[in-house]
Amino acid sequence: MPAGGSAVICTHQNAALSDGWVDDCVVECPLHMSRFDLRTGAVDAPPAELPVRVHLAEVVGGEVWVTLSEQAPNLPPGVR
């Protein structure tokens, strides 16, 4: 079954979501505790207002296949 994989930078400020905490399918930013759904990228808790970009991930024949999103990332202020 396909699943989502999200970007690595919080859309609120320049913080690595890989340094955050994961509970079920939600990742919490370590900086200001914004939360994002890992499947959809949707904001689950403020202060973030914009979703993170997600990529399609699926297991095919025992291998993980990732299809990168064609959407532009929602970068935090000041990040280019």
Which residue range forms the structural domain that includes residue 41?
7-53
Q: In a structure prediction context, what are the per-residue pLDDT tens digits for the chain, which is 80 residues long?
A: 445 555 578 999 989 999 999 999 999 999 999 999 999 999 999 999 999 999 888 999 999 999 998 988 888 887 77
Say how many C-beta atoms besides its own lie within 10 A of residue 80's C-beta.
3
Number of domains in the chain: 1
Amino acid 1: pLDDT: 40
Position 73 in a domain: no
The model's pTM is: 0.81
Assigned domain for 32 exists: yes
45 located within any domain: yes
Task: CATH number of the domain at 42, please.
Answer: 2.102.10.10
